[in-house]
Homo-oligomer: A and B are copies of this chain.
Amino acid sequence: MTTEYDQLKANDASFVPLTPLSFLQRTADIYPQRESVIYNSRRYTWAQTRTRCTRVASSLAARGLGKNDTVSMFAFNTPEMFEAHFAVPMAGAVLNTINTRLDAATVSYIIDHGESKVFMVDRQLWPVLEEALQSCQLQPEIIIIDDADAIEKPPLPDNVDFSYYEDLVEHGDETFNWRMPEDEWQALTLNYTSGTTGHPKGVVYHHRGSYLMTMGTVVSWSLPQHPRYLYTVPMFHCNGWGHAWTMTAVAGTIVCMRTFNPKLLFDLVEEHQITHFGGAPVILNMLANASEYDQKNFARTINVMTAGAPPPARVLESMTQFGFEVMHVYGLTETFGHILQAAPQDSWASESPERQAELKSRQGVRFAMTEAVDVISPQTGNSVPWDSETIGEIVIRGNTTMKGYLKDPESTDKAFNNGWFFSGDLAVVHQDGYIQVKDRAKDIIISGGENISSVEIESVLYKHPSVGEAAVVALADEKWGEVPCAFVELKSGKQASEQELIDFCAENMARFKRPKSVIFGELPKTATGKIQKNVLRGQAKKNITS
């Protein structure tokens, strides 16, 4: 009998490679007249978006691009950026979005490492690219996105050939027979991580993963049909958390936000009846701290996904007044974005608001498409007990895990081991099975043989009314091995002394975890807004020993 079941082989009608391109095809077929993308005075329907993407894809194909060719995109959240998420793979090529805050040297590295053949750039960023092109070996074809609504409009290149993005649309062939991928494991996008040290690593996504990311996000975020989504998350971050594809699958309307500011967000939420958006806690914090004149309270519920760091309790509470229902999620560039979520339990409703905020700020439990997540003790290699205390490394298994790091077999091999992807994040598991990140592996402080989470100290510091931002790093210590050293940026107009903050920590957590010193000043950050702890470590050493 075994052979009888196995004799039934897949064919073209029963096996179609999974790809997010299917979502555009279906939505444009069923809802051709619904609005797809809005950006200021520009408005498109799904039929128009498909046509534009097809034309751009045909223009890329006409330039000889095809499977596994890299197309870079150095741009803001404008309709072109959204379209590229379909147009580039419709040509069979790989979309490489680049962080708009990167410096020329890093962009140059990415062009060469990623072997960029076509480079699409927002006019505002041309000066950075111009500089990058001086030092890179490859010279990709330049496509300029000339956004009429950009505030900064530097002069266009005069000694380099280029085309305009709209030329690709205009001269493209809307009858172009774009193809689905032959294999669902085919490369879809290339995302460079903004490592705090060394060269960025090129994370490669596959079509299968992005398709399943979409499906799992709809299931676990309970996305309805036709959400009205404000694209605040930069699309160069994990492809904007995959929401370009997800919102297409549910035939939503995407409102583009070129650059974030709190007033604009409140205005757009009101004007376009936004139902969903995403943003890192730093964005939510800016909304909470915005001027009262700019803030707006909505009577309806707006669903907000947040990721990148645990949202502080006071931020979560202030979101409620706006009508924003926050879902905290966790993920990595290597996992296509979110794979865990602080999924609410019925029992949470009876907890105090403060306790609810704590529960919601945990990284949580797996999304619908995430097959398995565990926290493994580096010492024993076994799962840690669910005791809220024992720290281990988060490991992940599932179909939204990257293909690997491009041209970096060593890092790829190191990340994948024994059927798991190793995240590099250290966490505990609570008694309810919810995971809470304690630190990046390299940021943990080992003092007198005890693991001290720098994140835990930071979260205590954030509770102090004068603290604006805080970061804690390890400082070498003769007696203890390492001790915590805190860096603090005070809120404007607020005061606190070093001793006051040390005492505050001692009173609000296990005393031995308190920082031994506090240094005040602005915190250095990467282009993606991550605090550069490596810089702080050097600074700590210098300040304390000098």
Contacts and interface: CB of A to CB of B under 8 A. Distances in A.
A421 interface: yes
Interface in A187-222: 187, 204, 208-209, 212, 215-216, 218-220, 222
A16 interface: yes
A2 interface: yes
A7 B212 CA distance: 22
Given A368-B26, A371-B22, A222 B225 contact: yes
A402 B204 contact: no
Interface string A53-74: 0000000000000011110000
A241 to B, nearest CB: 17
Contacts of A30: 343, 365-366, 433
A2 B68 contact: yes
Contacts of A293: none
A209 B8 CA distance: 14
A115 interface: yes
Number of copies: 2
A318 interface: no
B14 A399 contact: yes
- Which of A12, A15, A22, A409 is most buried by chain B, counting CB atoms within 10 A of its CB? A15
Given A5-B403, A70-B1, A204-B8, A398 B16 contact: yes
Interface string A1-22: 1101111111111111010001
A104 to B, nearest CB: 23
A8 B403 contact: yes
Nearest to A15: B399
Interface stretch (A127-135, A412-420, A449-457): A412-420
A12 B399 CA distance: 9
A185 interface: yes
A8 B188 CA distance: 13
A224 interface: yes
A406 interface: yes
B403 A185 contact: no
A401 B14 CA distance: 5
A7 B404 CA distance: 9
A255 interface: no
A503 interface: no
A371 B20 CA distance: 11
A23 B409 CA distance: 33
A249 interface: yes
Given A13-B421, A14-B416, A421-B14, A406 B29 contact: no
A516 interface: no
Contacts of A14: 209, 398-399, 401-404, 416, 421
A236 to B, nearest CB: 19
Nearest to A66: B2
Contacts of A70: 1
A348 to B, nearest CB: 13
A13 B420 contact: yes
B68 A6 contact: yes
Given A215-B215, A365-B29, A397 B5 contact: no
Nearest to A405: B8
Contacts of A31: 345
Contact of A4 (B8, B208, B407): B407
A90 interface: no
Contacts of A69: 1-2
A288 interface: no
A396 interface: yes
A337 to B, nearest CB: 15
Give the 9 A-B residue pairs with the shortest CB-CB distance, closest first: A8-B404, A8-B403, A215-B215, A14-B401, A12-B419, A2-B68, A5-B187, A16-B371, A13-B421
25 contacts: A4-B68, A4-B407, A5-B94, A8-B204, A8-B403, A8-B406, A13-B397, A13-B401, A13-B419, A13-B420, A14-B398, A14-B403, A15-B185, A15-B208, A16-B397, A18-B212, A22-B371, A26-B368, A26-B370, A30-B343, A30-B365, A30-B433, A34-B346, A215-B215, A219-B250
Given A23-B368, A30-B366, A249-B368, 12 more contacts: A4-B68, A5-B187, A8-B403, A9-B403, A13-B396, A13-B401, A16-B397, A29-B366, A30-B365, A215-B218, A219-B219, A225-B343
